[in-house]
Amino acid sequence: MPPNVYRPHSVTITEFGAVGDGVTLNTKAFQNAIFYLNSFADKGGAQLFVPAGRWLTGSFNLISHLTLSLDKDAVIIGSSDSSDWPVIDPLPSYGRGRELPGKRHQSLIFGSNLTDVIITGANGTIDGQGAIWWDWFHNHTLNHTRPHLVELMYSTNVVISNLTFKNSPFWNIHPVYCSQVLVQHVTILAPLNSPNTDGIVPDSSTNVCINHCYVRSGDDVVVIKSGWDEYGISFAQPSSNISISNITGETGGGAGIALGSEMSGGISEVRAEGLCIVNSLHGIRIKTAPGRGGYVKNVYIADVSMDNVSMAIRITGNYGEHPDDKYDRNALPVISNITIKDVVGINIGVAGILEGIQGDNFSSICLSNVSLSVQSPHPWNCSLIEGYSNSVIPESCEQLRSNCRQTPVCYDGSSLAAMRAQAQRHKSSDSQFLNSFLKLASF
């Protein structure tokens, strides 16, 4: 499945009464247009084109075999009235809204149980008008968890490309329980002090490719998740086979690339390369806690540059809150086979704080060819971890001073090569998308 697919049927949102004046509410127009296009789903699919203008709308649902395409001067604007964002059930792997108990607001652009969905444009814009939601958050006047800009659930063959996302109320792009997902050539913008405006958040999803993106936001640039405590453990849907490349990011309160802290379904087979992280709190971060269970393993991060980053690498074993008091305090996460190599950083505050959990040492943490210009006289702080290092400046902490060149333990990303071989054996229609994903993600 290439990033663009020919659709034999196409309509323009104005054909359904939409007015692009930035004032008229166009929710019904989007809903009616998509309802009409559903009749073409089995006839090659359809395209909904949004021309130049400012198109105010509440939340609307996508359908399978649809391309939502924006003109370069088109702006889809989220309504500032919370009643235009329906309240829906919490994700089963979270058990409740991420911020508040109970339900959550539906994303501006939403879909569930879909296949063959493309959201694209000539760098058109989707603006969530998040400022009012951030105010409600800070003032503790929210009744339900804030909405994302885009969320697709239980969907396959998804492409999000060539768009600018601005001012999301909460996370920006959230594929959850999805497979065969491509996110490329997107720009994500939010103030550096905006709360929880994470950029791209694959969650309990597999075969995901994220490349050539620029993110400037208040929280993690790219973060991988897989469910929260006992709910994520029970739902048991991991995030795996994820490729991240050519990302430039700046974050006020997060990391350039992060894993967790909601990782109870497991995260594995992650490869991230070609990352540029500037003016940020953290560069690379893994977040977990007792009660999470699950695992983060087989993670390969390489070719990273950082400038003006407070802490280059952070692994935290006691991060974040819990959904309720029913979590199992003995459910300890497994953190192993983490390789970070070929990293250069200037204007770095602290090289790293790497902290495991008492009785649950994090293992096979490998650093190689890492050169950081660090301001702190105490560049590393490590506890309850085990691993290896080679060519690390300033010299890594004692727990990592075995030479990773002399041991086969360090993860080298080879499992993704096995994924490529497996893809060659697939004969289903989905394998065409996976092969495209693998081509894009070839290292």
Catalytic site residues?
219
Amino acid at 232: G
Helix (H, G, I), strand (E, B) or coil at 235: helix
Name the residue among 139, 110, 117, 99 with its Cα closest to residue 41. 117
User: What's the rounded Cα separation, in Å, for the pair 246 and 345?
Assistant: 17
Tell me the sheet residues that pair with 134.
none
Helix (H, G, I), strand (E, B) or coil at 331: coil
Task: Please say whether the beta carbons of 405 and 132 come within 8 A.
Answer: no
Tell me the sheet residues that pair with 215.
188, 249
User: What's the rounded Cα separation, in Å, for the pair 341 and 305?
Assistant: 11
* Greatest pairwise CA separation for the chain in angstroms: 68
Instruction: Transcribe 239-287 into DSSP letters.
Output: EEEEEEEEEEEEESSSEEEEE-SS-TT-EEEEEEEEEEEEEEEEEEEEE
What is the torsional sign of CA 17, 18, 21, 26? positive
- Dihedral, 268, 233, 179, 182 alpha carbons, nearest 10: -60
Tell me the sheet residues that pair with 250.
216
Q: Which two tokens stand for residue 12?
A: 């323009």
DSSP H helices, 7-162, are: 27-37, 131-138
